[in-house]
Amino acid sequence: MTTTSPSAPRELSPDADTRVTLDAALTRLRAGAAAWADLPAAGRRHLLREVRAAVSAAADDWARIAAASKGLDPRHPLAGEEWLAGPYAAIVALDAYADTLDALARGRSPLAGIRTSTAPGGRTVVHTSPLRVSDRILLSGYTTEVWLRPGVTSHEARDAAGLASRHPLRSTGVGLVLGAGNVTSIPFLDVLYELLAEGRVALLKVNPTQDTLVPVFERALAPLIEAGFAAVVSGGGDVGAYLTRHPEIDHVHITGSETTFRAIVGSGEDRLRVPITAELGGVSPIIVVPGRWTKADLRFQAEHVATMRLHNSGHNCIAGQVVLLSRDWDQREGFERELRRAFARAPRRPVWYPHALERLRRLRDTYPDSEWFAGDTRAIVSGDGEIETTEYFAPVLGIIDLPGTGAAFLDAAVAHANDRLTGTLGANLLIDPISQHSLGPGFEAAIARLRYGTVAVNGWTAFGFLTPTATWGAFPGGTVDDAPSGIGIVHNALLLDDVERTVVRGPFRPFPRSLGRGRFSVLPKPPWFVTSRTGGAVSQGFARFRIDGRIGPLLVTLARAFGA
């Protein structure tokens, strides 16, 4: 639940000079909307290449300023997060969209040559990554699939892929993007989706937490801004409120909290008059299926869980918040012990997001038996209650007891996640290869029953967020009156229609323990793990390789990865 600045009361309004600036930006975008609709796929592809060059030139400043905005020195071991969640995410998305536009320009479906299969319930599965050799190297062992809604055939999927970029025959107007305040690539990626999937030019209103990045966004989006296809503005809730009710806005997209979403939608005479899509976060489960794990497995997966919660200091809509554990697992105590060690071992960092410290103080009253780590800046709590219904957006992890082992536990965990936890954005599932094999087809059926927009098996849902050809958003069914995790999807660089969810699959064990033991990976500890000693350098190296494709520096980066 990435939080935007709250909408101001309707009687408040920006000052006259600000209104003039906003009105002028919208007037220019309105003129650009028709030109965007007239631009064919080949022209859009060429423009994206210009944007790619602009992002590449701004990458160093992007990562440095983003880290500083979160209280991190560029040499901090976790500063590499800002390379992956910023320039890296932007570059891989631009490359993936360019491939889609290239296919459309040649009169082909973006799904030409991409494998499809089936999943339980009559679902077509599109195998969306890896699609490039570089993905197989950098992200070895990790895959993504997009599951379409039941009944959609692979033939129908190929015909529909392309969305508004397939037949850009008319303008769909001007979209307002209310940018997220926590992850710096989100506003940039949301602008791309407005343009390419929805056919709308976009006004990006930057969250105040990212005001220092406004010049970076302007540089990165300069080719689109100069053509009249995008604009960037800043300001608080008064600016947001003014823009959501502006007559030149045809659609609103927000990445933020449900509270802010409700304020924007309004009620009665003040009801929002245009359609809205949203990504609103939620309480994400981490389902740990009992099995026979080695000591190395317990430690690795405990660090995996700690990463899901502590990345970006817990200020992520994709953060795992509740671990569902079996009370009948004979290795449970060992796993919890390793989890506490990982929480204590991860480098300290500021709790920087607005109001997060207040939520941590409230936690002490709500869960007086909570365990605190790293100078009382992160906590683990046991038991049900608020931890299941309120997204803390802070470094707080809950542990919930459930009965059973094997299929009985998995069934109970799926039901608990679906029925007791708030939201439908993402669910994580950890299971060893032997246990997964013993469940047979029942395991895939359990994935199908999870009502989440992204399900990660031996991975973190953030991998789906970072993969441009995957989709990101709530499970279908949200409405303006009931949208705990939002409405619609983003990313989706293959421009697929009728999407139900993304499924991420990763290796249960890293290299070299992955040899002959389940899904193979050449990666040692992944660089995004908060416990990786070389994660900062490796993350930066991965991003630089995506930018320039130079093999020599990549080999140095891969050598560093084995020092994690």
Instruction: Give domain status of residue 448, yes or no.
Output: yes
Question: Which CATH number is 459's domain given?
Answer: 3.40.309.10
Q: Are residues 363 and 478 in the same domain?
A: yes
Tell me the H-state helices in 421-501: 433-439, 441-449, 461-466
447 with 296: CB under 8 angstroms? no
Q: What is the DSSP letter of 85?
A: I
Query: Which domain covers residue 560, as residue numbers?
Result: 533-564
Q: Are residues 358 and 455 in the same domain?
A: yes
Considering just the CA atoms, what is the radius of gyration of the chain in Å?
Answer: 22
Instruction: Give domain status of residue 134, yes or no.
Output: no
Q: Are residues 270 and 359 in the same domain?
A: no
Of 245, 260, 279, the position where a domain reaches its end is: 279
Question: Residue 41: CB partners within 8 Å, gap ≥ 6?
Answer: 101, 102, 104, 105, 165, 168
Q: Are residues 244 and 311 in the same domain?
A: no
Instruction: Give domain status of residue 117, yes or no.
Output: no
CA 492 to chain centre: 12
Question: Residue 386: CB partners within 8 Å, gap ≥ 6?
Answer: 366
d(C-alpha 428, C-alpha 419), whole Å: 16
282 with 317: CB under 8 angstroms? yes
Element (H, E) at 371: strand 371-373
d(C-alpha 92, C-alpha 433), whole Å: 30
321 with 397: CB under 8 angstroms? yes
Q: Are residues 233 and 311 in the same domain?
A: no
343 with 373: CB under 8 angstroms? yes
Question: Which CATH number is 63's domain given?
Answer: 3.40.605.10
**Which amino acid is residue 17, in one-letter code?**
D
The model carries a pTM of 0.96
Q: What is the pLDDT of residue 169?
A: 66
Q: What is the DSSP letter of 128?
A: E
Instruction: Give domain status of residue 131, yes or no.
Output: no
- Digits of tens for pLDDT over the chain (564 positions)? 444 444 444 457 899 999 999 999 999 999 999 999 999 999 999 999 999 999 999 999 999 999 999 999 999 999 999 999 999 999 999 999 999 999 999 999 999 999 999 999 999 999 999 999 999 999 999 999 999 999 999 999 999 999 999 987 677 899 999 999 999 999 999 999 999 999 999 999 999 999 999 999 999 999 999 999 999 999 999 999 999 999 999 999 999 999 999 999 999 999 999 999 999 999 999 999 999 999 999 999 999 999 999 999 999 999 999 999 999 999 999 999 999 999 999 999 999 999 999 999 999 999 999 999 999 999 999 999 999 999 999 999 999 999 999 999 999 999 999 999 999 999 999 999 999 999 999 999 999 999 999 999 999 999 999 999 999 999 999 999 999 899 999 999 999 999 999 999 999 999 999 997 789 999 999 999 999 999 999 999 999 999 999 999 999 999 999 876
d(C-alpha 317, C-alpha 553), whole Å: 33
Neighbours of 6 (CB within 10 A): 16
Q: Are residues 395 and 484 in the same domain?
A: yes
Q: Are residues 257 and 180 in the same domain?
A: yes
DSSP-based three-state secondary structure for 125? strand
Indicate the number of domains in the chain.
3
Instruction: Give domain status of residue 239, yes or no.
Output: yes
Instruction: Give domain status of residue 442, yes or no.
Output: yes
**β-bridge mates for residue 278, sequence order:** 254, 487
Q: Are residues 453 and 413 in the same domain?
A: yes
Of 251, 279, 307, the position where a domain reaches its end is: 279
Closest to 466 (Cα-Cα) out of 210, 255, 185, 273: 185
Neighbours of 440 (CB within 10 A): 10
Q: Are residues 352 and 220 in the same domain?
A: no
Q: What is the pLDDT of residue 43?
A: 97
Phi, psi at 148, each rounded to 5°? -85, 165
Phi, psi at 514, each rounded to 5°? -75, -10
Task: Note the residue count of the chain.
Answer: 564
Preceding peptide of 130 cis, ω within 30°: yes
d(C-alpha 23, C-alpha 8), whole Å: 19
Instruction: Give domain status of residue 88, yes or no.
Output: yes
Q: Are residues 263 and 311 in the same domain?
A: no
Q: Are residues 288 and 250 in the same domain?
A: no
Query: Which residue is associated with the tokens 């040559």?
Result: 113
Of 217, 245, 279, the position where a domain reaches its end is: 279
Instruction: Give domain status of residue 115, yes or no.
Output: no
Number of continuous H segments (helices) and E segments (strands) in the chain? 22, 19
Q: Are residues 191 and 217 in the same domain?
A: yes
d(C-alpha 81, C-alpha 63), whole Å: 9
